[in-house]
Structure 1
Amino acid sequence: MPKIIDHDQRRRDIVEVAKRIILKGGFEAATMRSIAAEAGFANGALKHYFPGKESIVAATFETILQQMAQGVESATAHPATAEEALRGWLEATIPRDPEQIAAGRVLLALWEYAMSNDSLADLYRGHLANWRSSLVERMEAARDEGAIREQDYVAAANEYISVAVGATVINLMYPDGDRVSDYQAYIDQFLARLR
C-alpha cells in the first residue's frame, strides 16, 4: 500500500526549514538548494510544493504574521476585565520569549523582500492596520470599563505599534531577550499614561 503523504504538513515543514535557515544565515542563505538539503528533499522535489524561492518566502512571511496574530488572540482569549485584555494584548505584541524573538528576526530578514513585493507589502500593512484597530478597540473597552481616560486612541496605538516594531528591530542585536525587562517597563509606563 502506498504511503499517504500529508502535503499541507510538508509545506508547513518546508516553511519551518526556511525560517531556521533565514534565522541562521539571513535571507540570502535560504536558497532552494539549502532548503531542499535541510528538509531532506532532492533538489527539484521542492517544486512539487512551491514553484520557487519567492513562493517559499511568501509562505514564510504569511506564516509568521499568522503566528503573531494567533499569539495575540490566545493571550487575550479569557481576560477577566477589559484592562487585563488590554495588558495581555500589549504584552503579546512585543517579542518577549525566544520563539517570538526568533519569529521577529525572521520577519525582519524578509522585510527587504516585502518592499519589492506588492502583495507581501500589502499583507504586512494589513497586519499593522489590524493591530491598530484591535488595540484601539481594547483601549475603548478599557475606557468604557473606567480603567483608562478618554484620549486620542489612534495616536496612542500608532505610538505603541512603533515601539513594538522597534523592539523587534532591537532584538536583532539582543536575540537572547536581554531587553525584555525594558519592554515590560515600557508597557507599565504606557498603561500609566493611558490612566
Structure 2
Amino acid sequence: MPKIVDHHERRLELVDATWRIIARNGLEGATLREIALEAGFANGALKPYFPTKDTLLEFAFSHVFNRTNQRIARVLGTMTGLAALRAFCLEVLPLDEERINEARIVIPFWQKAVNDPQKARIHQQSMAEWATTIQRLLAEARAAGDIRAAVDDALLAGQLLDMLLGAQIAAALSPAGSPIAGQAEQLEGYLALLAA
C-alpha cells in the first residue's frame, strides 16, 4: 500500500528547513538541494511543492505572516485598545530566537520584492492588513482615553509599523541568538508618548 503524504505538512517541513538554513547560512546558502538535505528529503522531492527557490521564499514569507497573525490572535483574545495594541506589537517584535529567525526570512523576501511585482504585492497586502489592525486598536485606545496624541491614527499606525519592521531588520543583522536589547522598552516609550 503506498504511503499517504500530507502535502501541507510536507510544505511546512520544507519551510522550517528553509528557516534553519537561512538563519545559519543566509539566503544564498539556501539552495533547494541544501533545503532538501536539511529536511531529510531527496532533492527532487521539493519540485512538486516548490519548483523554484522564489516560490519557496514566497510561501515562507506567507507562512511567517500567518504564524505571526495566529500568535497575535491567541494573545489578544478579547483585549482591546492600548492593551491589545501593546500585545500586537510584542508579537511582531523579534524578542526571541523564533521571531529573529522569522525576521531572517522576511528580509530576503523584501530584497526580492524590490524588483518583483508579485512579491511586492504580497508584502503590500500583508502590511495593509497590519496597518488596518493597528489603526483599529489605536481608535479603540483613543475612544477609551488612553491615547491623546494630536496626530492622525493613520500616521501613527504608519510610524508604529515602520518601527516594528525596522526592529526586524536590526534583529536580522544581529549576531545569531542575540535579541536586540531595549526593543520592548522602546515600544513602551512610544506608547507613553501617545498617551501624553
Same fold (TM over 0.5): yes
User: Aligned equivalents of 2:188 and 2:20: distance in 1?
Assistant: 33
Percent identity, aligned pairs only, is 32
The equivalent residue for 1:162 is 162
The equivalent residue for 1:104 is 103
The equivalent residue for 1:191 is 191
Q: 3-state DSSP class of the match of 1:179? A: coil
User: Aligned equivalents of 2:168 and 2:161: distance in 1?
Assistant: 11
| C-alpha spacing 1:51/1:166, structure 2 compared with 1 (3 Å) | same
Aligned length: 193
The equivalent residue for 2:74 is 74
The TM-score normalised by the length of structure 2 is 0.89
User: Aligned equivalents of 2:35 and 2:175: distance in 1?
Assistant: 26
Matched, 1:135 2:134: yes
The equivalent residue for 1:45 is 45
The equivalent residue for 2:180 is 179
CA contact (8 A) 2:96 2:179 kept: no
User: Aligned equivalents of 1:52 and 1:177: distance in 2?
Assistant: 31
User: Aligned equivalents of 1:183 and 1:29: distance in 2?
Assistant: 29
| C-alpha spacing 1:175/1:153, structure 2 compared with 1 (3 Å) | farther
Matched, 1:117 2:89: no
CA contact (8 A) 1:50 1:56 kept: yes
CA contact (8 A) 2:37 2:43 kept: yes
CA contact (8 A) 1:27 1:110 kept: no
Q: Following TM superposition, by how much is the alpha carbon of 1:129 offset from its aligned partner in structure 2, in angstroms?
A: 1.4
User: Aligned equivalents of 1:105 and 1:74: distance in 2?
Assistant: 23
| C-alpha spacing 1:189/1:122, structure 2 compared with 1 (3 Å) | same
The equivalent residue for 2:14 is 14
The equivalent residue for 1:93 is 92
| C-alpha spacing 1:20/1:176, structure 2 compared with 1 (3 Å) | closer
Q: Following TM superposition, by how much is the alpha carbon of 1:117 offset from its aligned partner in structure 2, in angstroms?
A: 2.0
Q: Following TM superposition, by how much is the alpha carbon of 1:122 offset from its aligned partner in structure 2, in angstroms?
A: 0.8
For 2:47, the aligned partner's letter is K
What stretches of structure 2 of length at least 5 have no aligned partner? none
User: Aligned equivalents of 1:95 and 1:169: distance in 2?
Assistant: 9
CA contact (8 A) 1:96 1:177 kept: no
CA contact (8 A) 1:14 1:35 kept: yes
Q: Following TM superposition, by how much is the alpha carbon of 1:193 offset from its aligned partner in structure 2, in angstroms?
A: 1.3
